[in-house]
Structure 1
């Protein structure tokens, strides 16, 4: 009997969209061995020369001109991609998308980024028989996600559902599941065992993540290192080797209580080893942090969806804005009291259990397959 096939389509504009696709694929495999998921970053897959160049240009814009990114996001906030834009995308990158779909014969297509969502919706509108599920990977709903050809939207919160229904999406086509995280984030590991595994000390520990591209503000880094005698610091810089090399060359980071890591697949364990998470408020990382019940400090949200993510997690008590060194001092002091740190963790885990069930999203996809 042929396994049921799920084709998950994403794009590399930020790491969270593709991470969500891989997380969902892993969750599907764990819950049902009869499912065969496949993840593709469509633009780079179909145009391996031009696709990465466009993503690189976007990365530079995010790091150098974040206000421009926010302006672009807000200027078309309530608008779907028009048919001309969809046609242009199809001509530039996706002339072979129909062939890929026909060859793979998926029983369901899941989109975790607005661009493949728009392109596949257009293909469906032109006559190809497809079942489309769209997973919105932030705590906001930009108009570019909206397409009438989508069979089901899986979203993070009731607010995102309302934004979709306000834009004409029928309520029964929207299900609140939360953003998918990898099964490694479904459970917690013992803190001391993880610290021993990574050669970490039994000290108050802070995990600092720069997002998939390693974007961290130097001034805040320097202030954190002043606590290095009493607080263990783990910096995860992602794929940004230039930032990692720069940090490793600075004497203040050359300390036995400081680790500077590049890309790692062990974030789930490192979150359990840590007492506080310092991070960009990307939808994926924030959801992973929430699933682990770790207090979060958010810095430099990119205007647009990261601001919305930040607002959601702060309002719901999962984190705080890192806008001064006073916030660092406050939390670095709290975690040096084991009872206080443990209390915060327990409260956040309880709150998570009320608001988020990590298996909901893959289970909703499995339901669509039936």
Structure 2
């Protein structure tokens, strides 16, 4: 008997979209070991030479012109991708994506980014008869995700479902509130003392700082202020693939201290969250959801106008995080960490029943299985 196949398509505009695809892939195979899954970043796979240039331009725009990005985001909020963009995607990806699907013969296609969602939707309009599931990886419902050909939307919250219905006209039966998928590792708790030994850490208040993969940690004043607490607080700075920024800080006297640890790319963020008391991060949808799963308190810095602002607003309103408005915000939280240490693990945000999300870790994978 032929094994069922699921094709998961993403894009490399930030790591979160692809992380969600891989999380679903793992979750699906845990539910059904006989299931076959494949994850592709469509642009990088089909156009390995062109894609890095596009991603680089996108990254540069976010870093240097965030207000411009925000203006475009808001102007297109209730609209699908404009015709020029759709035509460009059609010309660049259409025939090759059709061939990829023909070769892999998936039973269901899952998209975790709007671009492959547009391409597959056009193929469905042309006669492709495969269920399409779209996973919205933020706490908002932007129009670029919406297409009449989508059979099922998986969304983070009931508020996002309501927006899809009221603002974009998506029928309720096509939307399921599953939460944003994160890797199953983030739903497992580790022993903190064992983790301290593994990473060479001390038993003291610990702060995890993320966002360096895209150079977003280059807030010199903010980071320098953090180091003034280095005698009382242990800092774990994660730089992802940004080896240049990591090397520069490693040579800076302020960061040459036993309580300051600099990490490059790692697949153990779940463990670093478990051993930490506070997460300082950009409010990306995936990272926020990982923090929610771990129950760690969060501070958000420099949200990009658009989806990150929406994510920041949602987590702040739910009492799960707070934006960094000044150095005083850091001082208030750091002082609280020092006064509370050591503290009971049950004090972690999310441990109380009223903080628990209304979905289970496998909910997204189960919803996709129903389409098979």
| Aligned counterparts of 2:161 and 2:299: Cα–Cα separation in 1 | 26
Distance 1:150 1:55, change over 3 A: same
1:205 and 1:273 in contact (8 A); partners too: yes
4+ aligned runs moved over 4 Å, structure 1: 339-343, 346-349
Shift of 1:81: 2.0
TM-score normalised by structure 2 residue count: 0.96
Counterpart for residue 238 of structure 2: 236
Alignment counterpart, residue 338 of structure 1, candidates 333, 336, 341? 341
For residues 26-41 of structure 1, the aligned pairs below 5 Å read 26-41=26-41
Counterpart for residue 147 of structure 2: 147
| Aligned counterparts of 2:113 and 2:297: Cα–Cα separation in 1 | 28
TM-score normalised by structure 1 residue count: 0.96
Shift of 1:74: 0.9
Counterpart for residue 257 of structure 1: 259
| Aligned counterparts of 2:216 and 2:83: Cα–Cα separation in 1 | 35
Shift of 1:305: 0.2
Counterpart for residue 157 of structure 1: 157
Counterpart for residue 190 of structure 2: 189
Q: Which of 342-351 and 116-125 deviates more?
A: 342-351
| Aligned counterparts of 1:244 and 1:320: Cα–Cα separation in 2 | 26
Q: Which of 344-353 and 163-172 deviates more?
A: 344-353
Counterpart for residue 169 of structure 1: 170
Q: Deviations over 1:146-175 (max 9, x none)?
A: 101000000001111111112111100000
Distance 1:246 1:141, change over 3 A: same
2:206 and 2:276 in contact (8 A); partners too: yes
| Aligned counterparts of 1:296 and 1:257: Cα–Cα separation in 2 | 20
For residues 263-342 of structure 1, the aligned pairs below 5 Å read 263-336=265-338, 337-338=340-341, 342=345
Q: Deviations over 1:40-90 (max 9, x none)?
A: 000111111111110111011111111111111111111012455323211
* 1:29 partner SS: helix
* 2:371 partner SS: helix
| Aligned counterparts of 1:153 and 1:24: Cα–Cα separation in 2 | 14
| Aligned counterparts of 2:163 and 2:220: Cα–Cα separation in 1 | 36
Shift of 1:122: 0.3
* 2:138 partner SS: coil
Counterpart for residue 127 of structure 1: 127
Q: Which of 347-356 and 44-53 deviates more?
A: 347-356
Q: Is structure 2 residue 95 aligned with structure 1 residue 95?
A: yes
Counterpart for residue 369 of structure 2: 366
| Aligned counterparts of 1:120 and 1:152: Cα–Cα separation in 2 | 14
Extract unaligned runs of 5+ from structure 1: none
| Aligned counterparts of 1:69 and 1:279: Cα–Cα separation in 2 | 20
| Aligned counterparts of 2:85 and 2:276: Cα–Cα separation in 1 | 44
| Aligned counterparts of 1:218 and 1:74: Cα–Cα separation in 2 | 29
Shift of 1:34: 1.7
1:204 and 1:335 in contact (8 A); partners too: yes
Aligned residues: 369
1:11 and 1:17 in contact (8 A); partners too: yes
Q: Deviations over 1:332-366 (max 9, x none)?
A: 12222236574530654534424442221112112
| Aligned counterparts of 1:347 and 1:179: Cα–Cα separation in 2 | 16
Counterpart for residue 353 of structure 1: 356
* 1:256 partner SS: coil
Extract unaligned runs of 5+ from structure 2: none
Q: Deviations over 1:79-118 (max 9, x none)?
A: 0124553232110234311000010000100000001001
